[in-house]
Each structure stands twice: as structure tokens, then as C-alpha cells.
Chain A
Amino acid sequence: MGEHEDEALVGDFIARRNEGLEAVYEAYGTALFSVARHVLGDDDDAQDCVHDVLLRLWQRPDSYQRGRGSLRAYLMVCIRNEAVTRLRDATRHRKIETQVAASETTAYEFEIRDVVESERLKRALAVLPPDQRSALALAYARQLSHREISARLGVPLGTIKSRISLGLRRLQTMLPRQEVSV
């Protein structure tokens, strides 16, 4: 998604103005909720996650620096990280482990839903070596940590880190860039 973020929106959010939080939620609420809902699989849990993360970051504006890039992407990743952490809590995590083990395979793939972006993403994924694509898909779509992926695939941790990193960097060059006016 290519877009220029509204400088005033970013400024109001960083300055901890109420209108900044409201504008951020209005602009990015659907994207943020979609990420949380996808990871957690539950409306109530997703609402709690988005509420808690937005309020926490809004109260600590120094956590986001303009040099980082897109505020939208930053918030989406914060939501993903928080949702994944909650998902990994005790019983929930055991349930996911069971689900993953039940579908044991070494070939994991992405599920592409956006029609407009699907061809571009398919082309990008097609050029990735299968081992990079599988490691990336396990991290992204299955929300497994690099340690869990290493154990799952029986591959050294350092190798998994490299596969994920290289895979995302190659995708990065082929996917639309998010831009921010700073």
C-alpha cells in the first residue's frame, strides 16, 4: 500500500493530542483491527489488543521516531507483536502447537487474499527459494518464533534467522513501499 501519511496526523499523535489518537484510529483502525483479529482469531481479544496497544503508545510518544518510517506500519507491527505475545500465553499456545503439529509438513505457504496485490505478491514469492519461503511463512502466517521454527524444521537457529531475514528483504524489494512524509 503506497501512501503519504498526513504530517499533522503524525504530529498530533506524537504530541499526545486526543485528536491525534482519534485521527490515527479513524485512518488505521481497520488495518490494525484486521491484524489483531487475524492473529488472535477472536473479536473481543482483538479489541482489547488494539485498545491497549494504541493507548500505551499514545501515552509514550517517544516510542515512535519519525526516522523509522511509516507510523501505520509501525503500529501494525506493534499490534502484531502484542497479539502474538498474547497468543503465546499458556493454554492458547499449547492449542496452537497442537494445531501446527497436526498439520506437520515442511512446506508452508502464504494465503493471498487481496486481488489487486495477489499477482505482484505471487511473483515476489515465486522468486524466493523454498526454504526461505517456508521459514518466512511459518513466522508470518503461523506466528511461530525463530526458535520454534528452528525446532519445527530441525534446522539450526542461525540458518533460520538468515532465511527469514533474506526472504523478507527480497520480498521488500518487490512489494509496494509505504512512504511517509517527514
Chain B
Amino acid sequence: MMTFGDHVGEYAELYALGALEPEERLGIDRHLARCARCTREVGRAEAAVAALDDATLPRVEPPAALGRRIAASAAALAPAKVIAFRPRPSVPMRFALAASIALVVGLGGGVALDRSIGSHVSTRDEDALRAVAASHFLHASFTPAVAGAPTAKVLYARDRSWYYVIVDADIAGCHVVARSSAGDFDAGPLQAGLQTSTLFVRTSAAPRSLSLVKEGRVIATATLAAFSGGP
């Protein structure tokens, strides 16, 4: 770990420009935590780099999806600190979680988010919350196979370590069936809520598609992106 004398000196400019290695930046961060003078120095260097950015970089508007993704991640993270574990899943909490995630994937545009409802969450729902907040993920829509099939989407990790199915209906007796090169397997039943049904699954099977199956009949299928098996 690098150390400094009394102050960061010319490292302030290197820090602001991104010209230091990560371990060097960490050393400065630690010093700044206890040195107001160097914090001001680094702040001045940061202002100069920001001014350079404003003068030289083309302004690129971020995609609208980024704002929704950030808001949904914040919504998912905010209640996590006050969650108390209970043995049974809470339907309202699951709805709140699914609703916040639905904001990301644009599921059922009218889904309302109410973080004030519910105070506990199932282990599976917490897994989903943590996975979505901490991972890079993809999503796919389910294509209806029968008339009246509910709108549904699946979020899944880029590394295929988890899958989170969200159905825009409180549908009972519906299972998620995964289809992979190794064969089909039942990933489990959807857990019905007030307005959504969800299922969070961890598997290494890397399925090619997921189907919603009710009473032995496929009602909708989502085709997942090709996966090479790499991280």
C-alpha cells in the first residue's frame, strides 16, 4: 500500500485524471478520509478535469432505460436494510420487489410500486433482490402460446447463474419448465401475489428457453439469448 508524507501533493491531479493505478487511488482515498486540506486539493483538481470534460467531450444522452434501471435498483436496495426474515414469503413484499424490477423491464406499464407495504420477505425474494441489484442481467419476454396468456418476462444473469420470472397476473398452479441441451426440468411453481407471480431460480443448466406450463399445457415461452458458457 502506498503511503504519503503529510499530503497528497501532485497526486491530486493524477487522481482526478484517472492516471493512478487502483491501489494508488485507494491509498489516496484513505488519506482523504482524514485530511480536509487534501480533500479540497483533490476537489479543485476534479473541478478542472470536469471543466475539461465539459469543453472537450461530445454530450451523449443516456438511453432512457438507464434511468429506469437506476431507479429500480435504488428501490430494490432501499427496503433491504429494514427487512426482517420470516419463514413464509410475504405476498405484498414480493409484489413490491417484482414491481420495482418490472420498472426495469417495462413489464405491464401500470404496475405500481409501493415500498411502504410489507415488512418481510422470503429467502427466495431476497436472493432475487440481491441478484438483480448486484449482477449484470438480460431480459426476455414470454410469447403467448394460448389466448389470454398473461404478460410475462424473465430477467436472467449474463453468466446464467440465476433466472427471475415475473408474470403480470396472480396465476396459481403454474410451473416454469426450463429446456436445455441436457433435457427439460421443472424449475418450480410460480408464487402468486396480489397482481404478480414470480419465481427465482438458481441453476447451472443454462436453459435455451423457459416455458410457463399450467395443467400440463404450455401457455407461454421465452427464448433466451445464446450462451457460450463463458463468464
Contact = CB atoms under 8 A, between A and B. Distances in A.
Answer yes or no: do A and B interact. yes
Interface of A: 1, 18, 21-22, 25-26, 29-35, 37-38, 43, 46-48, 50-51, 54-55, 58-59, 63, 65, 67-70, 72-74, 76-77, 80-81, 83-85, 110-114, 117-118, 120-121, 136, 139-141, 143-147, 149, 161-162, 164-169, 171-172, 175-178
A146 B20 contact: yes
A73 B49 CA distance: 8
27 contacts: A18-B74, A18-B78, A25-B67, A30-B61, A37-B60, A38-B60, A47-B66, A50-B66, A55-B77, A63-B29, A74-B46, A77-B18, A77-B49, A77-B50, A80-B53, A81-B15, A110-B56, A114-B54, A117-B54, A118-B55, A162-B10, A167-B13, A168-B17, A168-B48, A168-B49, A176-B51, A177-B47
Contacts of B59: 30-31, 34
A171 B48 contact: yes
- On chain B, which size bracket covers the interface? 35 or more
Nearest to A145: B19
Nearest to A2: B51
A18 B75 contact: yes
Given A21-B74, A35-B57, A54-B70, A145 B20 contact: yes
A76 B70 contact: no
A140 to B, nearest CB: 6
Interface string B33-69: 0001001101111111111111111111111011101
Contacts of B12: 165
A33 to B, nearest CB: 4
Nearest to A144: B19
A77 B25 CA distance: 12
Contacts of A167: 13
B230 interface: no
B16 interface: yes
B55 A112 contact: yes
Contact of A165 (B14, B29, B46, B52): B14
Contacts of A144: 19
B62 A29 contact: yes
Contacts of B47: 69-70, 73, 172, 177-178
Contact of B13 (A18, A76, A168): A168
A74 B71 CA distance: 21
Nearest to B67: A25
B215 interface: no
Interface in B128-175: 133, 136
Which 10 residue pairs are nearest across A and B when measured between Cβ atoms?
A: A69-B43, A165-B10, A33-B62, A73-B50, A117-B55, A68-B43, A172-B48, A84-B18, A175-B51, A139-B19
Given A18-B75, A21-B70, A121 B10 contact: no
